[in-house]
């Protein structure tokens, strides 16, 4: 390369000096001929150097292997592979290493390949690390010559027509991280040699016809396992008990893991409650009424005794003292007080808040949110005016104290609250970019922000971490209860940030359910006050599908019938038109399709109908984070990761990424 540039430089210098210094004693005609000859020589050297440079940077052997593959297998979509063009620069689905000497990735999902993989073609790509031929119609047995791919790290052959047994010795793939052979017709036993894959993180063999017992896959690195819907028998090895039961569903297994009843404690109380007769119920009602009357009488007596005891001595009300112990401070005395939380440096009171210029940001399930620009202050706050509460003042304040103590970078902090008979207000930080819902669905005339794949991935990661932190609070029993795109924002590091925490359990039930909320609400939840952590996971799954499709959870295209996003996604994927699911805005970005497919699988797993089959949010955090490996240094494990700062930049690690990224295909409906 340096020689090539040097020749160009010499040629330009010779041309500029007009050759006068070199041919002073030569005749004018001889000089012209000499100049022409020298120019011809330099041009010849120039093109020879260029050809040699191109030939050296092109992986010629890998190029021939790929051409042999394409010529010997039928495919419905055309490939722009040509012997005269650069495989590393222009061939679709082909990625080379940094010096363009080897092909390291081939991604051809959904290209309509039919028939078996030609032998001695792809197996000649000795530097190949990622191979994706998913969602084609490849048939025949699993290619035995794939054992020559010693550097393979990710293999995606799901959703094809492969059949027969896996006779390959998987031990040769020392670096294999992801193996997905799901949705084929493979049979026989699961090879024991898979247990030797010490770097394996994902193993998906679901929806095949594997039989026999499950081998002891004691692989410490394994994070995602799916052996469902096969013909496996026997018991689940103890080393695999850490995976959910859904990973083994649809087999003929017998052990504690597979035979444990889904919800054993629930049926017992219901049976007992039906045995109460009318007399018992009447007695209970009378007892509670009497108890309530006594409590009211005691409270009234205490109030009168306090009024009579006013003698000029300053007495601190017990409730106020309790709130101060919890770190909250009141901006005013009396009933009209705005209560701030510890660590807040906001300098305004209730009067400032009520007199601020307000702009309606949105009307949600639990109230209306305003943008409040405070006069004489540089701060702009988001103020939510709540609708009817389903609890009294004491329960409301206790819930606010619980929520106000939660501090996490992926949770919008509650800065202050106000309670009176007429008004209930909550004060949050204001985010200029608006909610994720507005970013996805606002009209372009309204300055809609185009969310690329990187941004959507950050939103998913941050939101999952925020929910995981919520689920750890209050002894691991706290629930958000209203996860949706309009309650998710982007923090300063452009990661998802959850808002509206703690309202679901204290608001009056919405009957009938609000349509927009119905798209996020889990099927088992009919009352928002009875939301669970499993229903939070369902709502998060819907949010993932919304990020992927760009569609609202419930929408009516062209005024037609109502379409539920979860059902629509399932129907499209079932028809093997997975590419039609994705937002057309995302399909403009190259090499992200496999990452989108992984997020799609996570979203569908979270939004499964049965709550006991949904993963825990802590596992979901790990799944979403592993869609793309991040360079996090000494990042703690998943159990404590959400307690630390979110990394400022997502960058692929030096090692090959977990998620193979496919080339974009067609648009969406």
Taking CA 555 as the corner, what is the angle to CA 550 and CA 558, rounded to the nearest 5 degrees? 100
* Cβ neighbours for 180, distance < 8 A, ≥ 6 positions apart: 134, 155, 156, 157, 158, 202, 204
> What is the Cα gyration radius of the chain?
33
Instruction: Give one DSSP letter per residue of 161-222, joined into a string.
Output: EEEEE--S-GGG-TT--EEE--SSEEEEPPPGGGGG-TT--EEE--SSEEEEEPP----TT-
384 is in an annotated binding site: yes
Sign of CA dihedral 645, 648, 650, 655: negative
Q: Phi and psi of 341, rounded to 5°? A: -110, 160
Taking CA 173 as the corner, what is the angle to CA 170 and CA 176, rounded to the nearest 5 degrees? 105
Two tokens, residue 395: 């329960």
Map 550-598 to HEC letters. Answer: CCCCEECHHHCCCEEHHHHHHHHHHCCCHHHHCCCCHHHCCCCHHHHHH
Taking CA 115 as the corner, what is the angle to CA 110 and CA 119, rounded to the nearest 5 degrees? 105
Give the span between the Cα atoms of 569 and 50, in whole angstroms. Answer: 50
Which of 179, 182, 252 is CA-nearest to residue 212? 252
Residues 129 and 154: beta-carbon distance below 8 Å: yes
Question: What kind and span of H or E run contains 367?
Answer: strand 367-373
* Cβ neighbours for 491, distance < 8 A, ≥ 6 positions apart: 409, 410, 431, 462, 497, 646
Q: What is the DSSP letter of 545?
A: H
Annotated binding site: 384
Annotated binding site for ATP: 384
């Amino acid at each position: 390369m340096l020689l090539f540039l040097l020749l160009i430089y010499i040629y330009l210098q010779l041309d500029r000096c007009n050759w006068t210094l070199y041919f002073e004693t030569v005749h004018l005609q001889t000089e012209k001929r000499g100049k022409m000859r020298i120019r011809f020589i330099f041009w010849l050297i120039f093109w020879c150097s260029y050809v040699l440079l191109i030939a050296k940077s092109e992986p010629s052997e890998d190029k021939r292997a790929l051409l042999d593959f394409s010529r010997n297998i039928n495919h419905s979509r055309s490939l722009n592979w040509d012997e005269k063009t650069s495989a590393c620069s222009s061939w679709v689905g082909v990625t080379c290493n940094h010096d363009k000497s080897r092909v390291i990735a081939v991604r051809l999902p959904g290209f309509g390949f039919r028939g078996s993989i030609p032998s001695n073609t792809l197996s000649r790509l000795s530097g190949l690390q990622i191979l994706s031929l998913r969602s084609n119609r490849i048939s025949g047995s699993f290619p035995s010559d794939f054992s020559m791919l010693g550097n393979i790290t990710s293999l995606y052959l799901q959703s094809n027509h492969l059949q027969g047994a896996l006779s390959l010795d998987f031990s040769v793939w020392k670096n294999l991280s992801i193996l997905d052979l799901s949705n084929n017709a493979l049979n026989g036993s699961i090879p024991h040699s898979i247990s030797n894959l010490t770097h394996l993180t994902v193993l998906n063999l679901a929806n095949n016809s594997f039989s026999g017992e499950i081998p002891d896959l004691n692989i410490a690195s394994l994070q995602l396992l799916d052996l469902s819907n096969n013909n496996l028998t026997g018991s689940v090895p103890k080393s695999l008990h850490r995976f959910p039961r859904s990973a083994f569903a649809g087999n003929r297994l017998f052990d504690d893991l597979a035979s444990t009843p889904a919800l054993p404690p629930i049926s017992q109380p219901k049976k007992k409650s039906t045995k109460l007769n009318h007399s018992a119920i009447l007695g209970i009602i009378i007892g509670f009424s009497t108890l309530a009357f006594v409590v009211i009488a005691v409270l009234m007596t205490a109030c009168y005794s306090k009024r009579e005891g006013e003698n000029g001595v300053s007495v601190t009300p017990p409730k106020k003292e309790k709130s101060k112990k919890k770190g909250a401070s009141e901006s005013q005395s009396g009933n009209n007080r705005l209560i701030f939380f510890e660590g807040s440096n906001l300098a305004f009171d209730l009067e400032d808040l009520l007199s601020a210029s307000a702009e309606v940001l949105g009307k949600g399930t639990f109230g209306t949110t305003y943008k409040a620009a405070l006069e004489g202050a540089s701060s702009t706050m988001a103020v939510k005016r709540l609708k009817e509460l389903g609890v009294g003042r004491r329960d409301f304040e206790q819930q606010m104290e619980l929520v106000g103590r939660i501090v996490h970078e992926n949770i919008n902090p509650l800065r202050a609250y106000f309670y009176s008979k007429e008004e209930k207000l909550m004060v949050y930080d204001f985010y200029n970019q608006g909610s994720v819902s507005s970013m996805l669905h606002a009209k372009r005339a309204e300055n809609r922000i185009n969310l690329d794949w990187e941004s959507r991935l950050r939103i998913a990661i941050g939101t999952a971490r925020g929910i995981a932190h919520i689920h750890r609070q209050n002894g691991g029993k706290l629930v958000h209860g209203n996860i949706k795109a309009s309650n998710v924002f982007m923090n300063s590091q452009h990661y998802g940030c959850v808002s509206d925490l703690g309202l679901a359990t204290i608001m009056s039930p919405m009957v009938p359910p609000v349509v927009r909320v119905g798209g996020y609400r889990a099927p088992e939840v009919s009352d928002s006050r009875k939301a669970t952590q499993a229903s939070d996971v369902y709502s998060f799954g819907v949010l993932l599908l919304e990020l992927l499709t760009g569609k609202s959870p419930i929408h009516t295209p062209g005024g037609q019938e109502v379409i539920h996003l979860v059902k629509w996604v399932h129907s499209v994927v079932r028809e093997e038109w997975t590419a039609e699911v994705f937002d057309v805005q995302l399909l403009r970005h190259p090499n992200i399709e496999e990452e989108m497919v992984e997020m799609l699988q996570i979203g569908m797993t979270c939004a499964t109908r049965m709550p006991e089959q949904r993963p825990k949010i802590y596992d979901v955090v790990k799944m979403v984070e592993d869609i793309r490996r991040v360079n996090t240094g000494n990042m703690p494990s998943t159990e404590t990761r959400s307690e630390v700062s979110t990394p400022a930049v997502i960058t692929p690690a030096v090692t090959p990424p977990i998620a193979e990224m496919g080339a974009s295909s067609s648009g969406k409906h």
